[in-house]
Structure 1
Amino acid sequence: MSDEQIKLAQIDLAKVASGTIAKRLVVPGGIVPHADRIAHVSVKLSGTVAELRKNIGEDVVKDEVIAVLESREVADAKSEYLAARLTNDLQQDLFNRDRVLWEGKAATEQQYLRSRNTAAQSGMRVNIARQKLMALGLAENEIVALPDAPEARLRRQDVRTPISGRVVERKVELGTAVGRDSLETELFVVVDLSRVWVELSVASADLPLIKEGQAVKISARGLEGTTTGKIVFVSPLVDKDTRTARVVAEIPNPDGAWRPGSFVTAAIALNERTAAAVLPVTAIQKSEGRPIVFVRTNDGFEKRVVTLGQKEDQSVEVVSGVTAGETIAATNTFSLKAELAKPRDED
């Protein structure tokens, strides 16, 4: 067969190469969000929702403003800080003047000590006022900018997301009162789905075979591809009713294909080894009861009897019959087998 005939027959070629073969335990599981990548954006201060800048399904980046509150509590705290800062600036100036006078013998030591004590107290009040603002959610750069901020900003408080991700819940509307009776009010739930967890149920009899760090291959009905991850947690407890234990694997999810709530199948690698030759299962046919592959030659394909080893999913180990580097037919090999079965004209 020529290259053009191979293309018309839709036969894919593949190089014989080494690969990893593993014995795997197959268990059911479900996709859940990564517990360390969920953020409940909440506020404790009393106020009302003045702006909602993000809605369900929208992406956010860390420290992005997603809502704005109007709060008398915030206005009071900011005013207290600004007043304390102004008083502190004045007291520091007075202290520096009294220190110079005392060093020049123009003021008494008692006056100098009194001035130093007053300056220390005013500095402490500024720090207390700053800590109160930070407890209300203001960042350090926002506090520094307060003296130059317009008066209308004194009663407004930005709410920022602590992580990057996607908004999956919005629990308030414009004008909603928050922080009533000093209770925490949840505004948003943000989830980062770039990595997710797979919760697996493993029978107690199989638990001795499961270890943290083992590789896991994840597949799901309706998704063509598979992904690999690793086990990050094996529960020491067994459910008394189901006699299964909770095992958690972590997998990458850069394109969001693995959605929380989906059911999946997990194949846990119990042991892995490298085989000298690993072929796709589609490359194997049978002739006279023996497994064969079709090796590409200058003229077409040559039937080659092979000895198979361990099988894993859509791959199989070849113990003998082919060598690394040879090219074989990987798909549509049934058509080659049919050609092989056709009677040949005798010479």
Structure 2
Amino acid sequence: MLVVIILAIGALLGALILTTDVAGSSGDGHGHGHGHEGHAKASDAAAEDHEADEHGHDDEHGHDEEHAGGGDSHQEGEVELNDVQIRAAGITLATAQEAVIRSGITLPGEIAFNADQTARVVPRLAGVVEGVTAGLGEQVKKGQVLAVIASRELAEQRSSLATAQKRLQLARTTYQREKQLWEEGISAKQDYLAAEQALREAELTVANVREQLQALGSDAGTPGALSRYEVRAPFDGMIVEKDITLGEAVSADAPVFTLSDLSSVWADVMVPAKDLGSVRVGSQAVIEATAFESRAEGTVSYIGSLVGQQNRAAVARITLSNPGGIWRPGLFVSVQVLAGEERVPVAVKPDALHTLEERPVVFVRTEQGFVAAPVATGRRDADAVEIIQGVDAGTRYALGNSFIIKSELGKGSAEHSH
């Protein structure tokens, strides 16, 4: 029994010891698992904090970079210019506003002499040139002496006038004597009537010779040599051609000077047959020079009745005032014949338009300077361009010397690319 009791106690103690070991082992494993999980969570949290720190650092670094770059780079297409720089560059501003667009057709033309105010001066008497007092390109007045010619024909005409005047004086004296004698009853009436007829014939002869001299443009009462013939200007104008030299012989019908009054000229254009319906006498026209910046307005004064067989076009003529002499004959011009007018809500001057990346732009004024505003254009004429989209009415934009802004913008793009 004792042996049995001892064995039972030993078995019980062994069971207790085994139970305690299993529980400790289980508790150690659970604690160890929780330890690893906590360490993992701590590691993940640390990683997240580190990532957050890095992200924050990156954001801050990116913000700093963006902030640092803001002083050198700006909005695309913008040029920073203050008021002082704008004035120094000579950039002028204008305001986008409504305008009247003139529609019409544009044709090439050429400035020509006004034939109504141009004359080829001829001597009207053959002779030898004794003097030339006017030069090519000289402005002369009506009646001014241009040249002096020694003419035998003129000498004969003036001799005839002198002879006729002496005969007239004798006939007048004879008439007065015969009249007195007839009134006193001394001579017959027939002698009186014959003297009167001789007087009338002498007067007629003198008048005819004077008219012949006046037809030659010579003043019969001018003292001097009988053969001296003066070529005078028929009106105010400029000597545009000169074909006379001292000492040469000239014929009566040879042009020695061409005189033109250039205060008015013609602009001749060839109008194709398809456009003849748009061009009428009295239509307004705008003429622009192709060689330099100059423009003027005139009216269509003539349209040819015939269409050329080769070019299938008719000649149209615009009378153009030319007080300053800018429009010189032979100058090529562009002529816009106006067909109508239409008002548009927004328009800018043509010089304000520029091309950037194959797009039309207008440099709009901003607080910092100017920005290139892409625009959509519509109708246009020599004075205005319609803006359909991109710029509103009342917007201030660069006009004069606006190409400087484009140049500065190009420099900025080049530096940025570099």
TM-score by length of 2: 0.66
Aligned to 1:342: none
Q: Match for residue 79 of structure 1?
A: 159
Letter in 1 for 2:165: R
Note if contact 2:346-2:392 (Cα within 8 Å) is conserved in structure 1. Answer: no
Q: How does 1:16-31 map to 2 (within 5 A)?
A: 20-31=100-111
Q: 1:3-42 alignment to 2 at 5 Å?
A: 4=84, 6-8=86-88, 10-14=90-94, 20-42=100-122
More strand by share: 1
Deviation of 1:293 (Å):
8.5
Which deviates more from structure 2 when the two are superposed, residues 62-71 or residues 214-223?
Answer: 214-223
* Counterpart mapping for 1:313-328 below 5 A: 313-317=382-386, 321-322=392-393
For the residues of structure 1 that align with 2:108 and 2:281, how far apart are their CA atoms? 18
Correspondence for 1:212 = 281
State whether residues 244 and 256 of structure 2, in contact with CA within 8 Å, keep that contact through their aligned partners in structure 1.
yes
Structure 1 partner of 2:213 = 133
Please give the secondary structure, in 1, of the residue aligned with 2:131.
strand
Q: Secondary structure at the match of 2:245?
A: coil
8 Å CA contact 1:284–1:333 kept in 2: the answer is no
Equivalent of residue 68 in structure 1, options 148, 151, 176: 148
Q: Which of 236, 255, 260 is equivalent to 1:191?
A: 260
Is 1:171 the counterpart of 2:239 in the alignment?
no
Task: Tell me, in whole angstroms, the C-alpha distance in 2 between the residues paired with 1:242 and 1:187.
Answer: 35
Corresponding letter in the other structure for 1:263: F
Which one of the candidate residues 259, 269, 272 is aligned to 2:338? 269
**Which whole-Å CA distance do the structure 2 matches of 1:279 and 1:107 have between them?**
99
Structure showing greater radius of gyration is 2
How far apart, CA to CA, are the structure 2 residues paired with 1:127 and 1:292?
A: 78
Structure 2 distance, partners of 1:265, 1:290, is 24
Say whether the 8 Å CA contact 2:132–2:147 is kept in structure 1. Answer: yes
- Is the CA contact (8 Å cut-off) linking 1:296 and 1:328 kept in structure 2? no
TM-fit CA distance, 1:225: 1.5
Cα-Cα RMSD: 3.8
Q: Distance in 2 between matches of 1:171 and 1:6?
A: 56
Report if aligned partners of 2:345, 2:393 keep a CA contact under 8 Å in 1: no
Greater shift in the superposed pair: 89-98 or 75-84: 89-98
Q: Relative to structure 1, is the Cα distance of residues 75 and 315 closer, same or farther in structure 2, using a 3 angstrom cutoff?
A: same
Separation in structure 2 between the aligned mates of residue 110 and residue 15 of structure 1, nearest angstrom: 97
Identity %: 29
Counting only pairs closer than 5 Å after superposition, residues 1-347 of structure 1 correspond to structure 2 as: 4=84, 6-8=86-88, 10-14=90-94, 20-138=100-218, 142-143=219-220, 145-146=221-222, 149-150=223-224, 153-179=225-251, 184-273=253-342, 279-282=348-351, 310-317=379-386, 321-322=392-393, 330-331=399-400, 332=402
Contact 1:44–1:178 (Cα < 8 Å) also in 2: no
- Equivalent residue, structure 1, for 2:62: none
Are the equivalent residues in 1 in contact too, given 2:102–2:339 (CA < 8 A)?
yes
Deviation at 1:307, TM superposition (A): 10
Higher RCO (Cα < 8 Å, 6 or more apart): 1
Distance in 1, matches of 2:365 and 2:189, equals 102
Name the one with the larger helix percent.
2
CA distance in 2 between counterparts of 1:285 and 1:315 reads 14
Partner-residue secondary structure (3-state), 2:385: strand
Q: Residue by residue, what CA displacement relative to the aligned partner does 1:228-263 show, whole Å, maximum 9, x if unpaired?
A: 222111111111222111111121223333222222
8 Å CA contact 2:97, 2:345 repeated in 1: yes
